[in-house]
Amino acid sequence: MAATWDTASLKMMAHYTALEGRAIQNKAIALGRTHEEYLGLTYWTPNINIFRDPRWGRGQETYGEDPFLTAVLGTAFVQGLQGDDPKYLKAAACAKHFAVHSGPELTRHSDNFNTSDYDLWDTYLPAFRALVTKAGVAGVMCAYNAYRTQPCCANDLLMNDILRKQWNFTGYAVSDCWAVADFYGYHKTHPDALHSAVDALLHGTDVECGNRRIKPCLMLQKLVWFRKQIWMRPSAGCL
């Protein structure tokens, strides 16, 4: 799709994707299957990471290595998928993976990346900034890797400062699947699941994809007391 350089066609394709998704959801509602995966209207797309490392097996999902092209095409895709109704979304897009994420595949759960400020803002953030501040993307998925020693889903700079404060993002933030478990499983920055979940929640990660090790809903019950002591936005789901 990126090779077409055709924003109008990409937007139209996303529009048709959302229409098809609506049809699938309507059928799921009629059949009473709304609790199943892949039948809703929340789509974890587009992948707007910058493809720099061919060792990353997900490069075909991206729009390539150019930040400007990625931002323009990603914006068109989000606009096509979500539509222009002032109240209702056709479907909810999600910009991923935030941020500085592009492999290598084998170490993506434990990598810690350090870039210059220039490379961060000139290469890795322009597409995310465009989708958040211009396209109104509904969701943002934080990445597996760490950035400057902090896991992305509990990163002061990325999640609290840039995403929420500088860009005023008011949508939902979701972890990549089992990324919160990586805090203590791979990054070794947190002692256990409870500390990992608390830190992710305090950094604005509303939803944790996956429940193999953290047991999301049970973990959220343990965190209720935090709401009485620390100001926090309401969570969009079980962490």
The answer to whether 117 is a known catalytic residue is no
Task: State residue 215's pLDDT score.
Answer: 56
Nearest to 64 by CA among 81, 48, 79: 48
Is pLDDT at 97 greater than 90 in this prediction?
yes
Is pLDDT at 235 greater than 90 in this prediction?
no
C-alpha 177/C-alpha 179 separation (Å) is 5
Question: Residue 135, CB half-sphere, CA atoms under 13 Å: how many?
Answer: 30
For 36-82, what is each residue's pLDDT tens digit? 989 999 999 999 999 988 888 888 899 999 999 999 999 999 999 99
Domains and CATH numbers, the chain: 2-229 (3.20.20.300)
Handedness of CA 72, 114, 183, 187 (dihedral sign): positive
Q: Could you give the C-alpha distances from 202 to 8, 19, 125, 153, 180, in angstroms and in order?
A: 39, 36, 22, 10, 12
Is pLDDT at 102 greater than 60 in this prediction?
yes
The residues, ordered by sequence, that sit 6+ positions from 133 with a Cβ below 8 Å of its Cβ are 167, 168
pLDDT band at 104 (very low <50, low <70, confident <90, very high): confident
Nearest to 111 by CA among 121, 101, 98: 101
In this structure, are residues 178 and 197 in contact, taking their beta carbons and an 8 Å threshold? no
The sheet with strand 112-113 has its strands ordered as 112-113, 146-147, 150-151
Least confident of 101-110, 113-122, 170-179: 101-110
Q: Catalytic pick from 111, 176, 182, 206?
A: 176
Mean pLDDT, rounded, for 78-96? 96
C-alpha 57/C-alpha 102 separation (Å) is 9
For 201-231, what is each residue's pLDDT tens digit? 999 999 989 765 555 444 554 454 444 443 3
Percentage of the chain exceeding pLDDT 70: 88
For 128-158, what is each residue's pLDDT tens digit? 999 999 999 999 999 999 999 999 999 999 9
| Amino acid identity, position 236 | A
For 168-194, what is each residue's pLDDT tens digit? 999 999 999 999 999 999 999 999 998
Mean per-residue pLDDT over the chain, rounded: 89
Least confident of 106-115, 188-197, 229-238: 229-238
C-alpha 147/C-alpha 111 separation (Å) is 8
